[in-house]
C-alpha cells in the first residue's frame, strides 16, 4: 500500500509534491494547477480538455493528497484497467470493481476502501447504481466523485448512455461531496447538459483549447483504401498506428490483408473474448504490434503516447467521435497524422446505422451530426478551423497543417452572399433551419415559408438567382467558417455568432469557394469540354470509362431505354476523369441533374469506388445480373412489372422472410446493403408480402403521407426528402409510397 501525501487542508504545494513523487513531473501542464486548486477547495468542477491533455491528473492528484477515497465513474472496463494499472505502477493505491472482478476480490477492495487505504476506486455507472452499492459508499469516506467521459450523460452527446443520466443520484445522496466531470469532447449544448444532469452547484468550467496543431489532418477519396494504407505504412515502417473501421467484419478483413503483406497487425472489436482483446491491446501497448485495426471500442483511456497516426477507414458518425479518435495520435505533442477515407457510399450506409432502433428525435439529432461530419469531409476551408468552431473555439488564421491549407482551392469574394444569408437569419429572428433559410433566400412558397410569414421578409427571394445546391454549398462554408452555429435544441435553428455579426455589419470580408458546377461550366464549351475529358487509351481513366459504359448498358437494357437516356458519353468521360464520390461532386458533372442523381447517382458512385477492386464485368450483350454493379435503378415500369421476381431478388427476399436484417443478408450474399434494399423494394412492388414495419412504422408512414399532401400529392423525391428534414432516407420514402399504393 502506498504512502500518501494526505493533509487536513491539502494545498497546491502538496499537489506539486505528489506530481513529482508519483508521476515524475516538475510542473503541471497548462490549466492543471488551477483545476486541481479548485477541486481541493471542495468545489464542483467541469474539465473539458482534449485527449492527451492530462485530464486524469486533474482528479488523481486531488485524490492522492486528500483524505478518503475518490470514486471514479468510468464507462469502459478497458479504460478502468489501464488507468488502475498505471496508478499502481506509480505507487498509488487504486482498484476497480466491475463485471470482470470476482466476489472475493471485490470484498478485498471494499475492505480497502472502508479502511481508507484506497485512494481511487473505479466503477461503471451500472455498478454504481446497482442495489446496495450506494449504501456501501455511504460507509466510505469519499473525497470526491470523478465522472470520466462525462459527455455520455447528455442525450446531445455522441456517445449517450442512459445509465449516466441517473448519476444525479450522487448529488442527492452525497450533497456535500464535490463532483468533477471530465470529457475530451463536448459541444456547447452537451456542456450545458452535463451541468444540469449532474445537478452541479455553481461549478467552474475549465475549457482547455481543443487545438492539436501537431496533427496533420488529411481526407482522401475512399478508392483503393487498402492500396493507400499499404503505401502509407510502407513509408512509416516503424511507426505505430490505429485504423478505425465501423464493422467487425471489416476490421478482420483489413487486418488480414495487412498481415499478408508482412505488417504486424491485429484486429480488436467487441466480438472477441476478453482474453483476445486484452492480448491484442497489450501487444500494441508493448510495441509488439505496429497496427491495431479496431472498432471505436478501442482506444478510450489508452495512454500510448507514441501513436504516430490514426486512420478512419469509414466516415465516423459525428465530429465528437472523430475528434476523440484522432486525439489518440501524437499525444506526446510531436508530429502525427490523421487520415480519413471518405465516400458518399459511407454516408448512405451511416445514415441507416444512426437512425435504426432509436427514437425519432435521437435519429434526427444523429443525422444532423452526421451531416456536420460530412461537411468536414467535403470542406473547402481549413479543416482545423471547422473542428475548433464545432467546439465553440476560433482559430485566428488557417492552420497550415491540413490538406486544404497545403492545396487551397480557388476562392471569390462571397461577402455579399454571406450578408444575404445572415440578414435572412437575423430578420427571421434566428428561427430558420439551414434548409428553410435556403427556401427563404430562393423565394420558395412552401408551407414552412408561408406559415412562418417568412415570405414577408425583406430578404425573401434575395438569392433566387442561385440554385439550391449553390446555396447549400455556400451556407455550409459559412457554417464551417463560424458565422453561424446550429442550435439543435431549437429545431436546428441557425444562430449568428459574433464573427457573423461582424460580416453582417461589413466589418469582415468572406472568401468562398466557387461551387463546382458553376466553376466547371466556365472552363470550356460543352463540345471542347467533352473532347478534353477523353482519356488516353490504356489508362486507368479508359478502364473506368469502359466500366461505367457497361454499367450504363446493363441499366438501360433492364429499363428498356437507349443507353444515352441514362447518361451521355460526355457525362461518363467526365466521371472517369473527375471520379466523383460525393453527392455534390456527382452533381457537378455535366449532364447529371437532380432527377438523374436520385435515379442513378448512387449506382455510379458505387461503381467508381469499386473500380479499384472491380467485380466481374458483364458481357457486351448486357445480359449480366445487375448485382455485378450494385443496385439497379428503380423505375415506374419496375413498380408495375408484370414479369416475375428474378432469382437474385427472390434470394434476398427469402432471407428477409427468415428474419435476417438487410445488413445480415448483404453479408451472407456478399452484396452491398443498398443492393439488398433494392431487391426487397422491387419484390414488394411486384406483390410479395414484405414486412414493411421492419423498416418504417405506421406513424412514419402517416408523417410521410402528410408531407406528400402538403407538397401537392406527388412531389419529387428530393423535395420530399428536404421537406422532412432528411428524417427518412429514399428507401423508406419509396417504401411508404408503395405501401400506401397497395393499401389503396
Least trusted range by pLDDT, from 63-67, 319-323, 378-382: 378-382
Residue 433 belongs to domain spanning: 411-513
Give how far Cα 619 sits from Cα of 37, 456, 546, 646, 648, Å.
Answer: 74, 59, 12, 19, 18
> Rounded to 5 degrees, what angle do the CA atoms 703, 705, 708 make?
110
Distance (Å, rounded) from C-alpha 372 to C-alpha 377? Answer: 9
Distance (Å, rounded) from C-alpha 10 to C-alpha 631? Answer: 67
368 within domain boundaries: yes
Name the more confident of 59 and 536: 59
Largest alpha-carbon pair distance within the chain? 88
| Residue pLDDT, tens place only, 307-358 | 889 999 999 988 988 988 998 888 777 789 999 998 766 777 788 888 888 8
Please give the grid coordinates belonging to residue 519: 466553376
pLDDT of residue 588: 78
Domain boundary (478, 513, 548) is at 513
519 within domain boundaries: no
The residue-averaged pLDDT of 448-459 equals 93
Please give the grid coordinates belonging to residue 642: 408484370
Distance (Å, rounded) from C-alpha 536 to C-alpha 533? Answer: 9
Mark whether 451 and 394 lie in a shared domain.
no
Number of Cβ within 10 Å of residue 405's Cβ equals: 17
Tell how many helices (H) and how many strands (E) occur in the chain. Answer: 37, 17
Domain boundary (389, 406, 423) is at 406
Mark whether 531 and 623 lie in a shared domain.
yes
- Find the length of the chain: 744
- 410 class by beta-carbon count within 10 Å (0-12 exposed, 13-18 middle, 19+ buried): exposed
196 pLDDT above the threshold of 50: yes
3 within domain boundaries: no
CB 526 within 8 A of CB 590: yes
> What's the number of domains the chain is made of?
5
Mark whether 346 and 376 lie in a shared domain.
yes
Handedness of CA 297, 303, 305, 306 (dihedral sign): negative
Mark whether 248 and 374 lie in a shared domain.
yes
589 within domain boundaries: yes
Which range in 265-279, 630-644, 702-716 is most confidently predicted, on average pLDDT? Answer: 265-279
We report the CATH number of the domain holding residue 103 as: 3.40.50.300
Q: How confident is the model at residue 244 (pLDDT cuts 50, 70, 90)?
A: very high
Mark whether 159 and 254 lie in a shared domain.
no
Distance (Å, rounded) from C-alpha 20 to C-alpha 449? Answer: 63
Q: How confident is the model at residue 118 (pLDDT cuts 50, 70, 90)?
A: very high
Q: For the chain, percent helix, then strand, then coil, each to nearest 5?
A: 50, 10, 40
- Which phi and psi angles does 720 have, rounded to 5°? -65, -40
Mark whether 64 and 200 lie in a shared domain.
yes
Give how far Cα 479 sits from Cα of 169, 192, 269, 473, 499, Å.
Answer: 38, 21, 35, 10, 11
- Give me Rg for the CA atoms of the chain: 28
pLDDT of residue 362: 83
The residue-averaged pLDDT of 207-220 equals 88
6 within domain boundaries: no
68 pLDDT above the threshold of 90: yes
Domain boundary (584, 612, 633) is at 633
The residue-averaged pLDDT of 69-73 equals 95
Instruction: Name the helix (H) or strand (E) containing 190.
Output: helix 188-197
Which range in 120-129, 254-263, 551-560, 577-586 is most confidently predicted, on average pLDDT? Answer: 254-263
Q: How confident is the model at residue 525 (pLDDT cuts 50, 70, 90)?
A: very low
Distance (Å, rounded) from C-alpha 289 to C-alpha 238? Answer: 10
Strands 411-413, 336-342: pairing is unpaired
Mark whether 174 and 275 lie in a shared domain.
no
Of 311, 300, 319, the closest CA to residue 366 belongs to 319
Mark whether 713 and 623 lie in a shared domain.
no
Q: DSSP label at 98?
A: S
Residues 6+ apart with CB under 8 A from 252: 267, 269, 293
Mark whether 402 and 415 lie in a shared domain.
no
The residue-averaged pLDDT of 605-619 equals 57
4 within domain boundaries: no
Mark whether 37 and 147 lie in a shared domain.
yes
7 within domain boundaries: no
pLDDT of residue 268: 92
pLDDT of residue 1: 35
154 pLDDT above the threshold of 80: no
Distance (Å, rounded) from C-alpha 325 to C-alpha 329? Answer: 8
Least trusted range by pLDDT, from 25-29, 82-86, 505-509, 534-538: 534-538
632 pLDDT above the threshold of 80: no
Mark whether 343 and 458 lie in a shared domain.
no
Mark whether 197 and 132 lie in a shared domain.
yes
520 within domain boundaries: no
Of 38, 248, 261, the closest CA to residue 144 belongs to 38
| Residue pLDDT, tens place only, 674-726 | 678 878 887 888 888 888 888 988 888 888 888 888 887 777 666 677 678 77
pLDDT of residue 685: 80
Q: How confident is the model at residue 563 (pLDDT cuts 50, 70, 90)?
A: low
We report the CATH number of the domain holding residue 562 as: 1.10.150.80
Mean pLDDT over the full length of the chain: 81
Please give the grid coordinates belonging to residue 258: 495487412
pLDDT of residue 158: 56
CB 386 within 8 A of CB 375: yes
pLDDT of residue 263: 95
Is residue 376 helix, strand or coil? helix
| Residue pLDDT, tens place only, 462-512 | 999 998 878 987 888 898 788 988 887 788 899 999 999 999 999 999 988
pLDDT of residue 743: 79
| Residue pLDDT, tens place only, 423-443 | 999 999 999 998 899 999 999
152 pLDDT above the threshold of 50: yes
We report the CATH number of the domain holding residue 475 as: 1.10.10.10
Amino acid at each position: 500500500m502506498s504512502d500518501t501525501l494526505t493533509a487536513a487542508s491539502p494545498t497546491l504545494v502538496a499537489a506539486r509534491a505528489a506530481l513529482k513523487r508519483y508521476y515524475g513531473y516538475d510542473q503541471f501542464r497548462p490549466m492543471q494547477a488551477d483545476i486541481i486548486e479548485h477541486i481541493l477547495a471542495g468545489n464542483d468542477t467541469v474539465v473539458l480538455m482534449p485527449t492527451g491533455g492530462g485530464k486524469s491528473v486533474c482528479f488523481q492528484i486531488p485524490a492522492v493528497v486528500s483524505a478518503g477515497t475518490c470514486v471514479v465513474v468510468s464507462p469502459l472496463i478497458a479504460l478502468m484497467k489501464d488507468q488502475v494499472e498505471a496508478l499502481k505502477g506509480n505507487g498509488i493505491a487504486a482498484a476497480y470493481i466491475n463485471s470482470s472482478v470476482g466476489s472475493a476480490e471485490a470484498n478485498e477492495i471494499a475492505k480497502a476502501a472502508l479502511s481508507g487505504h484506497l485512494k481511487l476506486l473505479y466503477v461503471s455507472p451500472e455498478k454504481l447504481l446497482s442495489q446496495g452499492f450506494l449504501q456501501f459508499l455511504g460507509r466510505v469516506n469519499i473525497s470526491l466523485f470523478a465522472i470520466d467521459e462525462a459527455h455520455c450523460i447528455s442525450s446531445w452527446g455522441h456517445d449517450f448512455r442512459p445509465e449516466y443520466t441517473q448519476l444525479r443520484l450522487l448529488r442527492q445522496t452525497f450533497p456535500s461531496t464535490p463532483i468533477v466531470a471530465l470529457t475530451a469532447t463536448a459541444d456547447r449544448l452537451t456542456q450545458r447538459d452535463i451541468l444540469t444532469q449532474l445537478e452541479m452547484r455553481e461549478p467552474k468550467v475549465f475549457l482547455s483549447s481543443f487545438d492539436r496543431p501537431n496533427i496533420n489532418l488529411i481526407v482522401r477519396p475512399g478508392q483503393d483504401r487498402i492500396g493507400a494504407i499499404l503505401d502509407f505504412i510502407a513509408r512509416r515502417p516503424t511507426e505505430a498506428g490505429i485504423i478505425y473501421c465501423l464493422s467487425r467484419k471489416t476490421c478482420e478483413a483489413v487486418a488480414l490483408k495487412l498481415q499478408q503483406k508482412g505488417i504486424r497487425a491485429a484486429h480488436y472489436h467487441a466480438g472477441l473474448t476478453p482474453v483476445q482483446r486484452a492480448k491484442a491491446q497489450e501487444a500494441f501497448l508493448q510495441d509488439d504490434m505496429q497496427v491495431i485495426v479496431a472498432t471505436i471500442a478501442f482506444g478510450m483511456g489508452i495512454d500510448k503516447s507514441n501513436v504516430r497516426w490514426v486512420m478512419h477507414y469509414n466516415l465516423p458518425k459525428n465530429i465528437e467521435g472523430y475528434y476523440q479518435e484522432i486525439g489518440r495520435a501524437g499525444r506526446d505533442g510531436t508530429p502525427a497524422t490523421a487520415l480519413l477515407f471518405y465516400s458518399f457510399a459511407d454516408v448512405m450506409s451511416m445514415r441507416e446505422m444512426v437512425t435504426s432502433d432509436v427514437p425519432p428525435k435521437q435519429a434526427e439529432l444523429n443525422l444532423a451530426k452526421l451531416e456536420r461530419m460530412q461537411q468536414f469531409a467535403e470542406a473547402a476551408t481549413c479543416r482545423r478551423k471547422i473542428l475548433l468552431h464545432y467546439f465553440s473555439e476560433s482559430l485566428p488564421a488557417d492552420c497550415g497543417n491540413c490538406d486544404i491549407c497545403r492545396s487551397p482551392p480557388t476562392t471569390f469574394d462571397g461577402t455579399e452572399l454571406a450578408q444575404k444569408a445572415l440578414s435572412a437569419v437575423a430578420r427571421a429572428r434566428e428561427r430558420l433551419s439551414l434548409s428553410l433559410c435556403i427556401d427563404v433566400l430562393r423565394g420558395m412558397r412552401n408551407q414552412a415559408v408561408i406559415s412562418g410569414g417568412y415570405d414577408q421578409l425583406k430578404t425573401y427571394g434575395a438569392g433566387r438567382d442561385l440554385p439550391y445546391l449553390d446555396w447549400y454549398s455556400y451556407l455550409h462554408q459559412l457554417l464551417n467558417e463560424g458565422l453561424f452555429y446550429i442550435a439543435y435544441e431549437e429545431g436546428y435553428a441557425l444562430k449568428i455568432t459574433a464573427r457573423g455579426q461582424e460580416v453582417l455589419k461589413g466589418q469582415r470580408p468572406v472568401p468562398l469557394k466557387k461551387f463546382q458546377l458553376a466553376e466547371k461550366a466556365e472552363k470550356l464549351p460543352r463540345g471542347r469540354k467533352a473532347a478534353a475529358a477523353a482519356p488516353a487509351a490504356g489508362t486507368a481513366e479508359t478502364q473506368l470509362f469502359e466500366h461505367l459504359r457497361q454499367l450504363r448498358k446493363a441499366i438501360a437494357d433492364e429499363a428498356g431505354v437507349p443507353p444515352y437516356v441514362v447518361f451521355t458519353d460526355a457525362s461518363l468521360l467526365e466521371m472517369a476523369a473527375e471520379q466523383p464520390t460525393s453527392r455534390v461532386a456527382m452533381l457537378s458533372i455535366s449532364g447529371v441533374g437532380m432527377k438523374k442523381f436520385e435515379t442513378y447517382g448512387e449506382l455510379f458512385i458505387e461503381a467508381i469506388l469499386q473500380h479499384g477492386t472491380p467485380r466481374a464485368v458483364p458481357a457486351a450483350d448486357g445480359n449480366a445480373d445487375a448485382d455485378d454493379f450494385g443496385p439497379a435503378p428503380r423505375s415506374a415500369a419496375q413498380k408495375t412489372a408484370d414479369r416475375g421476381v428474378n432469382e437474385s431478388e427472390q434470394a434476398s427476399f427469402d432471407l428477409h422472410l427468415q428474419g435476417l436484417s438487410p445488413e445480415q443478408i448483404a453479408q451472407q450474399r456478399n452484396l452491398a446493403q443498398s443492393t439488398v434494399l433494392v431487391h426487397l423494394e422491387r419484390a414488394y412492388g411486384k406483390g410479395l408480402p414484405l414486412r414493411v414495419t421492419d423498416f418504417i412504422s405506421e406513424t412514419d408512414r402517416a408523417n410521410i403521407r402528410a408531407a406528400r399532401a402538403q407538397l401537392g400529392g406527388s412531389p419529387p423525391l428530393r423535395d420530399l426528402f428536404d421537406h422532412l428534414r432528411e428524417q427518412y432516407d429514399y428507401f423508406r420514402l419509396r417504401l411508404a409510397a408503395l405501401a400506401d399504393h397497395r393499401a389503396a
